[in-house]
Amino acid sequence: MVEHSGLDIMCLNKYGPSSSSSSSSDAEKKLFSKLKVSLTKRYPQKNAETLSAQYGTNLLLIGVSMMLALAQHGPAVKEEHLLTFITVLMLVQLVWMLCYMIRRERERSPLPERDAHAGTSWIRGASAARLIDALLCERENDCLFDCRRSGGLTMLALLSLIMDAFRIGYFVGYHSCISAVLGVYPIIHALHTISQVHFLWFHIKDVIKKYETFERFGVIHAVFTNLLLWCNGVMSEAEHFLKNHQRRLIALGYANISTVEVEPHCNCTTSVCSMFSTSLYYLYPFNIEYHIFVSAMLFVMWKNIGRTLDRHSNRKRPSTRSPGLLLGPLLGLLALASSVTVLVVYLIHVEKSEQTREAAISMFYCYGVVMLACMCGASGAGLLVYRVEDWPMDTGQNPSRTLDTELLLGSSLGSWLMSWCSVVAAAAAAGRSSPSFRWTCLAYSLLLVLEKCVQNLFIVESLYRRRREDEAAAPEIFSVTAPYDGIVNRAYETQDKRCAPLDAEPSENRQGFGRKHADGSLPAGNRLNVTAGRKRQILKNITIFLFMCNVSLWILPAFGCRPQYDNALEQETFGFSVWTTVLNVAIPMNLFYRMHSVASLFEVFRKV
């Protein structure tokens, strides 16, 4: 019995582990294969967006940290350290763009899917040349400017290149006593600008379906590199205006204000160094807008990676002629001319005596009250037209339109913060001696809040409206009533093919089509009547007027008309450091809001 038991145990020890090990090994193989599939397919594609966003955010925070340290003018962090970091980021982006374009050229596969709404006229339409061209062209092929490759973005890039040329000239004049990084940076920036514009022209609409994880990191690196360049421009411009503000305070008798001047410790070898240095600050607004616009375009490209497009919504309407545009352009040009006049008068008189300075500030606020009141009325009239017209809402997925809405609302916060601070300061000054422009400043601030609220509503509703004939264009155009027997409705029978030319039709069919256009009347359900056309003309005139007004309100602060620095009303309430911090945050956001509104209104004009 003992031996038998021992044999049983031996048998179990001999055969039992082999069977269990084989089953466990099969289970481990299945688990490993599932884990491998999960890691190689679902996991990176699902989390690459989060990982790349965290990577880009930390890049931006590193650069912002260096900028904050540089703002203290200490010996630890210098300008060449920041520019070296940004130059390295630009070189990495150049390498990624080159690899992407080479891979696209070598691929034998068909052309990639393209998002018709990505990088469209909402961002490239920031140029008046594009708007004039769209008004004059009956068809897209007749345009004097290529509607897809010219416009605001190219103009801003060209002005950025001019700024790089001025920086190179400044470095040549002081090359004996400044770091070589100040000469390398504008060269790399110019190369980065040219390459990036080329990339945006030909690849911004691509919907990437291969190497998604790698391309996500490449695109987000480009997004945050441009955001960092935008922050650098904003900080440099804010420092320049702060120095000018401090000089004005010292001239007015505020002796406790100290300035920090950072100039090269050598003489310029050319006679135009001061001209280069002064001209840079007039070009900073264009460079700032260029980089923030590019960041928005690349962000849409990043959101489109791996996206499945809706074939119905992924199409663009052709550009058509727009008759009846007279009142909107005329009022817009009047607003633009008034803004230029106010800018020139303000810059001349604000540097003079206290009384002249207060008169210049009062002139600005009176002009702003009239301008904002007209813009509120125009936006409200546009909303009223939408309440009368029953166009349906477009609920399709569109990352570009979603980004437009979010940027409009987000960039409004800076202006609203500045406005409510002015309201509090004007109310707090009621019990003491206050300047003559206190009440106009209060009205201006309240109207600024109201104007942005109403204009945001108008733009967002316009972007999400869809014209009724877009739903069923073919049946409405080619609908045939009973008297016209024998006419073939090709738009209905062959919806995926183009209609044959009329020359290929039989004679009786040609006569039928002629009778249809001559005698036939559209069904009563169709709303293509004179009233609808008038409503579109009203909306287009309103859009052009708001377009020109936003351009005007961008020009004033961009080129030095900033009464918030000069009126001393808010500074007495909040203190110099707090109010300066508010302005350094709010004014760049307000500038971006105006330019982004310009681009969005151009898209609204094309859509209406």
pLDDT at 402 over 50: yes
Hey, what are 343's tokens?
Answer: 């800018």
Picking from 260, 266, 301, 601, the residue whose alpha carbon sits closest to that of residue 458 is 601
Distance, in Å, from the CA atom of 3 to the CA atom of 41, rounded to the nearest integer, reads 57
pLDDT at 173 over 50: yes
Distance, in Å, from the CA atom of 251 to the CA atom of 234, rounded to the nearest integer, reads 26
Three-state SS annotation for 494-552: CCCCCCCCHHHCCHHHHHHHHHHHHHCCCCCCCCCCHHHHHHHHHHHHHHHHHHHHHHH
pLDDT band at 162 (very low <50, low <70, confident <90, very high): very high
Question: What is the model's pLDDT at position 128?
Answer: 41
Hey, what are 347's tokens?
Answer: 């810059």
* Residue 375 exposed, middle or buried by CB count within 10 Å (0-12, 13-18, 19+): buried
* 171, 178 contact by CB (below 8 A): yes
When comparing pLDDT for 415 and 263, which is higher?
Answer: 415
> pLDDT digits over 105-126, tens only?
887 666 666 655 555 454 444 4
Q: Is 111 left (phi over 0), alpha (psi -120 to 50) or beta?
A: beta
Question: What is the model's pLDDT at position 507?
Answer: 42
Residue 395 DSSP symbol: -
pLDDT at 326 over 80: yes
Picking from 525, 515, 404, the residue whose alpha carbon sits closest to that of residue 472 is 525
Q: How far is CA 410 from CA 20, 405, 406, in A?
A: 62, 9, 6
User: What's the predicted TM-score (pTM) here?
Assistant: 0.73
Read off the pLDDT of each residue in 260-271 and give the average, rounded to a whole number.
69
> pLDDT digits over 455-510, tens only?
999 999 888 877 655 444 433 333 333 444 444 444 444 444 444 444 444 444 44
> pLDDT digits over 50-104, tens only?
888 899 999 999 999 999 888 887 778 888 999 999 999 999 999 999 998 888 8
* 158, 190 contact by CB (below 8 A): no
Distance, in Å, from the CA atom of 511 to the CA atom of 399, rounded to the nearest integer, reads 47
Question: What is the model's pLDDT at position 607?
Answer: 80
pLDDT band at 29 (very low <50, low <70, confident <90, very high): low
* 358, 252 contact by CB (below 8 A): no
Question: What is the model's pLDDT at position 512?
Answer: 43
Read off the pLDDT of each residue in 199-208 and give the average, rounded to a whole number.
82
Beta bridge partners of residue 393, listed in sequence order = 465
Picking from 89, 52, 96, the residue whose alpha carbon sits closest to that of residue 213 is 52
When comparing pLDDT for 361 and 105, which is higher?
Answer: 361
Average pLDDT, the chain: 75
Helix (H, G, I), strand (E, B) or coil at 236: helix
pLDDT at 568 over 70: yes
